[in-house]
Structure 1
Amino acid sequence: MDMASHPSRPNAPTAGEDQRADWAALALDTAEANGFYAPDMLGAAIDHLPGGQDVRLIEARDGAMLIGILPVTIRARHGRLPIGCISNWMHDHCFFGAPMLRRGHEAAAWRGFLAELDAAPWAPGFLHLEGLDAAGANAAAIEAVCVEQRRGWREIHRYERAMLRSDLSADAYWETQVRSKKRKELRRLQKRLGELGAVETRLLDDGADLARWCDDFLALEASGWKGENGTALGCKPEDAAFFRSACASAFAAGRLHMLRIDLDDRAIAMLVNFRHGDGAFSFKIAFDEALGRFSPGVLIEIANLHAVQDDPAIGWMDSCAAPDHPMIDSLWAERRTIVQYRIALHGKGRAWMERRVAFAMANGAETIARMLKGQR
């Protein structure tokens, strides 16, 4: 078995047609779905990478077959600690960090990743991984390989976020999981909104409409508080270009799931999801804040619930929301546990010693911090 990993040169990650074809094949046979590392999103993020970021793409192969891909970046600090480390790269609009692993090759892929990092003179400290599913294929493979190699590892943080995973129909889920008082209030808001004009909910199904829908989403998001704070996608040309590119690639691959609610043919709420495997990831939501009294953001989430539960090809959806999100937590009953790991890196000579010290220092500082917090 030939195991190899191939980092790109720093500050300018590249991916040619052959490499992206390999990614696409891997995405079709991945052990753990991740729409953010699928070729649509990852390729768009790399193509529109802001200057100054040091991103490397590590590939694990079995002979010529790609069995894993892990984007990484070098961090000068680990949280509050002045300790350099390697971390999985999650760009500004990435909300899940599980590397792509070929089904049946999960442990082999992780052996390849870790071997490359062990041998890399540019890899400081240890490997920090964030945004992983505690019950996912990556978590299981990491634990198995670390035990096998007697490699130190530690889970350093976890939280839960809303997830939609149910065999119920949309109507049954709505009736079962959402309080009757809330259902009554939302029906009232839908009725009041309908008094203002013609209300229509649509799912994007025609590629000829894609560019206009992207324009509408960018404008709608920028019209609210995100635009005022400069965090809307349309506020930065590279972010807007990334969004358009990701949507176009995902639509071509059958992975874009885009909804809108119109009032008299004008978008008042839009939601963008990216599908991968048998699941999907909720990406961005935008709504007309001038109509806030009608809760358009909640209304489009209700439409999304029906679109997902009525689509047999979508088995689940990750909200990608912050923990304890007041809106989505009240609508979706299921939860996904997201974790972070710290993994020791091996090596030779001075590199091995420096990495061993960095791993021990980070673990020690964390233990002391927890002890002090407990004393309070």
Structure 2
Amino acid sequence: MDLSGFHRKDDWEIQADGFANGLPLSEFAGQWLPVSGIDADLVEAWSDLAGQASEPNIFYEHWFLRPSLAHLDHHRDLKLFLLWAGEPRHSQLLGLLPLAPEKPYGRWPVPFVQNWMHHNCFLGTPLVRKGLESIFWEKLLGALDESEWPGFLHIKGMTINGPLDKALRAVCQGWERRCDLVHSEARALLEGDVTADEYYRTNIRKKKRKELLRIKRRLGEIGELQFGCHRDGDNLDAWIDEFLALERKGWKGKTGSALDCTDATREFFRSAVHGAAQSGQLERRDMRLDGQPITMLVSFRSGRGGFGFKTAFDEEYSNYSPGVQLQIENLACLDSETLDWVDSCASEGHPMIDGLWVDRRHIGRFSIEPKGLVDRAVFRGVRLGERMMGKIRKRVIFDPAEEQS
């Protein structure tokens, strides 16, 4: 049963008669919740939702999003859109997405509504229970139609051709609204029904493997080389301190982009990592030389998916490819019976991880046509301008959905 005594439903299916698991869709309710309204009861329902999400997204789980909101800048009117199976707070939580009004949209001085992300948030796919993707979008679009927020909806950082994308396109088609994929990128993904050793030998050239083994042995001649993997909270604060210091020591510290460069990002990181540990979703890996960290990796898990979050390495040892060496150890994810894939969360064309992980996850930005003649005219004008600029710059937007059709 859920928090209010309602029976939990983990598997939802919308029937043609307008019901879902015996409940009329008309009873499903959307709610706009200000950040100040987040409390312990919601967090419990939120955690249950994340465990049953159609597409895992740790960046919108409570232990990550709450520290983000607490420590990082965001629009003062940011709200959570929540989908409930009935009366808000007295039924099962079915969907969640943080949204805020924005302006301008790139070079165009027009208002729009966008899911909230920040520089250390690498996925914007909503948390929605399996089977309810379409009703989530219907309720959200309907709520935005009645909202005081002007402009069109822009969803960034969403998995292309996943259940949420497919449902959004289908809903928009049924509502006769455009749903345009306006940007796409492909980032490294680790998956495969093979062992870590088989994956490594199949996808990394023999010459490259020999070179990596040679420099690993050279590193071992300098001192004692150790690899560690931790999935608990033991000595977590000390480990976090080491990570922050190691990252700040390198180029990110010199450019001011290291997590330790501001109090806000430092405390956000510390809180998020602690939250992941408490939820049993944290994995830490490190490579040490005589006990001192050379490279460190923070990853998170949700459902049967994993997310590489942050990595740091000592640039004094860059000739030994410390990041690559640790990622080779990280291929052990393939041997896990509880993990199907790992999203690198790296940028497209990343010089290190793209050479190790051969599969790709496509992430995109979507612009959805709004209700109303004026807003639609503005939307179509912006999209016309974007397409013209795209042709001039020869920008390519790859849509896996079109490749499969």
Supply the distance in 1 between the matched residues of 2:37 and 2:319 (Cα, whole angstroms).
47
Q: Residues 96-133 of structure 1, C-alpha deviation per residue, up to 9 Å, x if partnerless?
A: 11000111111111111111111111x22101111111
Equivalent in 296, 303, 308 of residue 322 of structure 2: 296
Residue correspondence of structure 1 range 216-227 to structure 2 within 5 A: 216-227=242-253
Q: Deviations over 1:294-316 (max 9, x none)?
A: 1111111111112x112221110
Q: Deviations over 1:221-254 (max 9, x none)?
A: 1111101111111111111111111111111111
Q: 1: distance between equivalents of 2:116 and 2:294? A: 33
Q: CA deviation at 1:368?
A: 2.3
Aligned 8 A contact 2:232 2:280 in 1? no
In 1, Cα distance between equivalents of 2:267 and 2:392 = 46
1:165 matched to 2:188: no
Find the counterpart in structure 1 of residue 380 from structure 2. 360
| Cα pair 1:61 1:109 within 8 Å, conserved | no
Letter in 1 for 2:80: L
Deviation track 1:129-188 (CA, whole Å, cap 9, x = no partner) reads 111111211101101111121222111111211100111101110000011121111101
Q: What residue ranges of structure 1 are gaps of 5+ in the alignment?
A: 347-351
Aligned position for 1:277? 303
Q: Which moved more, 1:44-53 or 1:123-132?
A: 44-53
- The answer for the alignment partner of 1:2 in structure 2 is 27
- CA RMSD in angstroms comes to 1.6
Report the Cα distance in structure 1 between the residues aligned to 2:376 and 2:28, rounded to whole angstroms: 25
Quote the residue 2:240 is aligned against. 214
**2:345 aligned to which of 317, 320, 334:** 320
Partners of 1:259 and 1:14 in 2: CA distance: 36
Tell me, yes or no, if the aligned pair for 2:68 and 2:268 is still in contact at 8 Å: yes
Query: Retained in 2: the 8 A contact 1:13–1:57?
Result: no
1:286 equivalent in structure 2: 312
Answer with 49-58 or 66-75: which moved more.
Answer: 49-58
2:58 corresponds in structure 1 to 35
Q: How does 1:135-284 map to 2 (within 5 A)?
A: 135-284=161-310
* Aligned counterpart in structure 2 of residue 344 of structure 1, from 345, 366, 369: 369
Partner of 1:102: 129
Are 2:68 and 1:71 aligned? Answer: no
Confirm or deny: 8 A CA contact 1:125 1:354 kept in the other structure.
Answer: no
1:369 aligns with 2:389: yes
Which stretches in structure 2 are left out of the alignment for 5+ residues?
1-25, 396-405
Change in Cα spacing, 1:280 to 1:354, as seen in structure 2 (3 Å) is same
Change in Cα spacing, 1:236 to 1:52, as seen in structure 2 (3 Å) is farther
Distance of aligned partners of 1:213 and 1:358 in 2 relative to their CA distance in 1, 3 Å threshold:
same
Compared CA separation, residues 374 and 168, structure 1 to 2 (3 A): closer
Q: In structure 2, do the counterparts of structure 1 residues 45 and 325 end up closer, same or farther at CA, with 3 Å as the change threshold?
A: same
**What is the deviation of 1:53?**
5.2
Q: Does 1:82 align with 2:109?
A: yes
Q: Is the 1:14–1:46 contact (alpha carbons within 8 Å) kept by the matching residues of 2?
A: no
| Number of the residue aligned with 1:91 | 118
Once the two structures are superposed, residues 182-218 of structure 1 have per-residue CA deviations (whole angstroms, 9 ceiling, x without a partner) of 1111101110110111111111134231111111111
* Match in the other structure for 1:349: none
| CA drift at 1:52 | 5.5
- Corresponding letter in the other structure for 2:146: A
Secondary structure, in 3 states, of the residue corresponding to 2:234?
Answer: helix
Q: Percent identity, please.
A: 39
In 2, distance between residues paired with 1:14 and 1:192?
56
Q: Distance in 2 between matches of 1:218 and 1:248?
A: 14
Aligned counterpart in structure 2 of residue 24 of structure 1, from 47, 58, 64: 47
Greater mean deviation of Cα atoms: 50-59 or 132-141: 50-59
Q: Secondary structure at the match of 1:6?
A: strand
SS in 1 for 2:217: helix
Letter in 2 for 1:67: L
- Moved beyond 6 Å, runs of 4+: none
Match of 1:41, SS? helix
| Aligned mates of 1:301, 1:13 — CA distance in 2 | 40
Q: Secondary structure at the match of 2:31?
A: coil
**Residue 403 of structure 2 aligns with which residue?**
none
Task: Provide the aligned length of Structure 1 versus Structure 2.
Answer: 366
